[in-house]
Amino acid sequence: YRGEIAEITGNPAPGDVLDVVDARGRFVGRGYWNPASQIAIRILSRDEGEAIDRDFFYRCLKTALAYRAVVVEEDTDACRLVNAEADFLPGLIVDRYGEYLVVQSLTLGIEKYKETVVDLLVELLSPAGIYERNDAGVRELEGLPLTKGVVYGACPPEVGFVEYGLSFWADIVNGQKTGFFLDQRENRRAVARYARGRRVLDCFCYAGGFAVHAAAAGAAEVVAVDISADALRWAARHAAANGVDGRCRFVEANAFDYLRSLVKAGESFDMVILDPPSFTKAKEAVPGAIRGYKEINLRALKLLKPGGYLATCSCSYHVAEDLFLAVVAAAARDARRELRLVEVRRQARDHPMLLAAPETYYLKCAIFQVF
Ligand code: SAH
């Protein structure tokens, strides 16, 4: 971090690669520098003999791909291939959707290697097209412009892919993130196994990922809610493509209000899924986020029949797992319900985490049985 750097020697330009040494001059690591960012240097290598060149990127990408070959199942052709720091390529995101790749270079330092990375991805994976989603707001913190477009081959705006044998499309041009919430992939399957025969409510459903997996796993009925009409159009299309539209109903509403109206109407469900957007991007906003989590979890618990399941998620890094579980426990006390903790899950393994960098562990997904 900027505050930890005593001195910059020489005359590096923003984005240049430089060496970090400790107070005694011993080599710590080699990384790229951006004085405009709080994270002034992002480490690429801890090996003093390793040059940051095309071969370096080739080795990192090979390693990242080899890991996905281990953790991503064969009935799935969409996943994250490169997850920035956790793949030792800070600032770089590469997502695969079938034959296509979507890349993000979120820092100035990695932006300089964008062409090299695109070249290597073509060499290693022969994709039909590569799309750049560099319209993510974090680029502004790095002094980079917001932009998107095709950087290799040709890309349709809607890219079909398969997740555990089910068909989806990613809206790679206008969808959230790179088009789909790939980080929830393993959780969608994990949650779906509790849905068989049940009446399911999926709140904050986006393109219907949890809803369609639950219905395909045998849910009797799925009601799915999102505030975005665009997202719901995709959700309906996904349900139809997988032959489960007869058991899915999609509702455009604010989930907070909708949950309240369901409770008021005396509705009940055997399973509720809560996957809201991050309620806070900053430490200062944690109290407000906690109120939000408590409210939706409390209302979900009021809707659940005894023996039903609650799958509740948080992607707020600043609300750590122990705090999140404590908030759900507080909601359970208020709702006078007993919760049995069935599973605590994280982001899918193709979004790896570094033990020494807690920032890389942001997604929590807790599954409870409710009594
Ligand atoms: N579960 C989804 C991802 C959810 S992302 C999946 O597996 O793909 C969060 C979603 O919450 C977004 O689609 C966003 O449109 C929606 N959202 C944000 N605020 C909302 C609100 N107040 N009520 C309902 N939906 C909301």
* pLDDT for residue 280: 87
Closest listed residue to residue 216, CA positions, set 244, 191, 241, 194: 244
Same domain, 239 and 319: yes
* pLDDT for residue 282: 86
CA distances from 83 to 93, 166, 363 (A): 5, 24, 14
Same domain, 203 and 244: yes
Same domain, 150 and 186: no
Q: For ligand 1, is residue 34 a contact (CB within 6 Å)?
A: no
Is 175 within the bounds of a domain? no
**Proportion of the chain above pLDDT 70, given as a percent:** 100
Same domain, 82 and 19: no
CATH code for position 21? 2.30.130.10
**Residue 315 designated active-site:** yes
Same domain, 36 and 60: no
Is 168 within the bounds of a domain? no
Tokens of 282: 């900053």
On whether the CB atoms of residues 85 and 42 are closer than 8 A, the answer is yes
Same domain, 61 and 36: no
Same domain, 312 and 352: yes
Q: Tally the domains of the chain.
A: 3
Q: For ligand 1, is residue 164 a contact (CB within 6 Å)?
A: no
Is 174 within the bounds of a domain? no
Same domain, 128 and 241: no
Which residue in the block uniquely carries the two structure tokens 């989806």? 168
Q: DSSP code of 354?
A: B
Same domain, 312 and 185: yes
Q: What are phi and psi of 214, to 5 degrees?
A: -65, -45
Same domain, 153 and 265: no
Domain ranges, residue 311? 181-370
357 Cα–ligand 1 center, Å: 27
CATH code for position 86? 3.30.750.80
* pLDDT for residue 327: 98
Q: Is the pLDDT of residue 174 over 90?
A: yes
Tokens of 351: 């979004």
Q: Is the pLDDT of residue 222 over 90?
A: yes
Q: For ligand 1, is residue 230 a contact (CB within 6 Å)?
A: no
pLDDT single digits (tens) 121-164: 999 999 999 999 999 999 998 999 999 999 999 999 999 999 99
Same domain, 145 and 263: no
Provide the CA 313 distance to its chain's centre, in angstroms: 11
Q: For ligand 1, is residue 304 a contact (CB within 6 Å)?
A: no
137 Cα–ligand 1 center, Å: 18
pTM above 0.85, yes or no: yes
Q: What are phi and psi of 73, to 5 degrees?
A: -70, 160
